[in-house]
Every structure is written in structure tokens, then in C-alpha cells.
Amino acid sequence: MKLLLVEDDATLRAALRSALEQAGYVVDTAANGPDALHRGATESFDAVVLDLGLPLLDGLSVLKRWREDGRLMPVLVLTARDGWAEKVAGIDAGADDYLTKPFHTEELLARVRALIRRAQGLASPLLQHGPLTLDTRSSRVTCQGQPVVLTGHEFRLLAYLMHRPGQVVSRTELTEHLYAQDFDRDSNTIEVFVGRLRRKLPPGTIDTLRGLGYRLALPP
Ligand code: CA
């Protein structure tokens, strides 16, 4: 899952980025309004964390522009303390949730998980697929109750597929959602990671649809 984190306070941005990365997300960042606007308008993100008080262009205007342009990714806005009017304006502008500063990182992580889940119509933080269970809270995967040890890349790949059961996901889509912007995006690497992930899962869990992409299947 790829997130866009928009925060102008460098210390907070670094802390949140590190917490989100530790939770298994790929994180791109922006530190001002115009940069945020451009990234959100041109790249695919599974969710956005958007501070409202930003230099050059405020977060509310950024959000309004995204929604006017039909960008539908879930957005969590960060508002100042006592900023109730900001919260109302944020929700009216198309925010899906808000968090008031200062907040606990755990709460931010829980809200981001819920936003990503809901965007896919999933209600539980525990994703099940046949013998596989993925706990989005602990980033742990088990198969018939036995832990499956995955690398960060493998986990992100499986999490992306498990949020979209039965859907065909193209290699381009995976490349867009699994790597940060500065990463060398070679779609062949996806094939390599799929291969490695397959070897750790029951045979038949990941279908290849030639020319289309991959799909999580129920093992026979
Ligand atoms: Ca700010």
C-alpha cells in the first residue's frame, strides 16, 4: 500500500514517515501545498495523510482540487487543536476522517488502516483468504495458523492482493502501489517478488493471467 504524507513540519514528517514505513507502507512525502497537489493529482495512492496548515497552498484547497478533479483516494486530514471549524471544512471538502494534533501515532496508524480497508469495502482488520490470514494491525501473516515469514516487499505485495480478493491486478498497478517514487520501477521485479511470494504460500494461491496481471485465488 502506498501513502502520501503531506506535512510541512520536518520533524513530525520524519517521525510519521518512519512509523508508517515500519507498519509496512510505502510512503511518499510532500512538504507544501503545490507539491502535494501535483503528486495527488498524478500518482496513485491508497490513502493520504494531509496536514491542513501548509505553506504556499493550504491543505483544504489541495483537497478541494483533488475532489474536483475526481481523485477519490481516502484522505485523513490533520487539524490544529481546537480547530473544530477546520474539521467541518475538511469533511465538507471531501476528507474521509480527521485527527487533531497532537495525536498518538498508534491512533494515526489505526485510522489509516481503517480508511484503506473501507475503501475496499472490508470491515475487519483481519483479512482472510482460504487458509491465509493477514492481520493488518500487526502486519503478520499465517497459513492454517502457522506463521508465514515474509520480507517487506513480499508482505506489501500480499497485502495489496488480499485487499482486492478475486480482482485482477496488473503489474503496472502493483508497481505504482508497492514502490516509493524514487525507487527504480522495473515491472520485471514484480515478477521476481511474485515468484518468491508464491514459494511461501500454498500452491495455486496466486494466479497469473497472461497479459493482464495477477489474482489471488483459492488454492485447489
Ligand atoms: Ca502545518
Q: Give a three-class secondary structure readout of the chain.
A: CEEEEECCCHHHHHHHHHHHHHCCCEEEEECCHHHHHHHHHHCCCCEEEEECCCCCCCHHHHHHHHHHCCCCCCEEEEECCCCHHHHHHHHHCCCCEEEECCCCHHHHHHHHHHHHHHHCCCCCCEEEECCEEEECCCCEEEECCEEECCCHHHHHHHHHHHCCCCCCECHHHHHHHHCCCCCCCCHHHHHHHHHHHHHHCCCCCEEEECCCEEEECCCC
- How many Å lie between the centroid of ligand 1 and the Cα of residue 100? 12
Question: What's the CA-to-centroid distance between 53 and ligand 1, angstroms?
Answer: 4
Neighbours of 145 (CB within 10 A): 7
Q: pLDDT for 61-100, tens place per residue?
A: 999 999 999 999 999 999 987 778 888 999 999 999 999 9
Burial 19-34 (b: 16+ CB within 10 A, else e): ebeebebbbbbbbebe
pLDDT tens profile 13-30: 999 999 999 999 999 999
Confidence of residue 208 (pLDDT cuts 50, 70, 90): very high
Beta-carbon contacts of 170 under 8 Å, excluding residues fewer than 6 positions away, are 212, 213
Distance 161 CA to ligand 1 centre (A): 34
Neighbours of ion ligand 1 (CB under 5 A): 8, 51, 53
What cell numbers appear for 61 in the block? Answer: 484547497
Span 151-180, pLDDT tens digits: 988 999 999 999 998 899 999 899 888 887
Read off the pLDDT of residues 64-75 as tens digits, 9 standing for 90 and up.
Answer: 999 999 999 999
pLDDT attached to residue 219: 63
CA of 52 to the centre of ligand 1 (A): 6
Q: What is the CA(7)–ligand 1 centre distance, in A?
A: 6
Q: Ligand 1 mean position to 117 CA, how many Å? A: 27
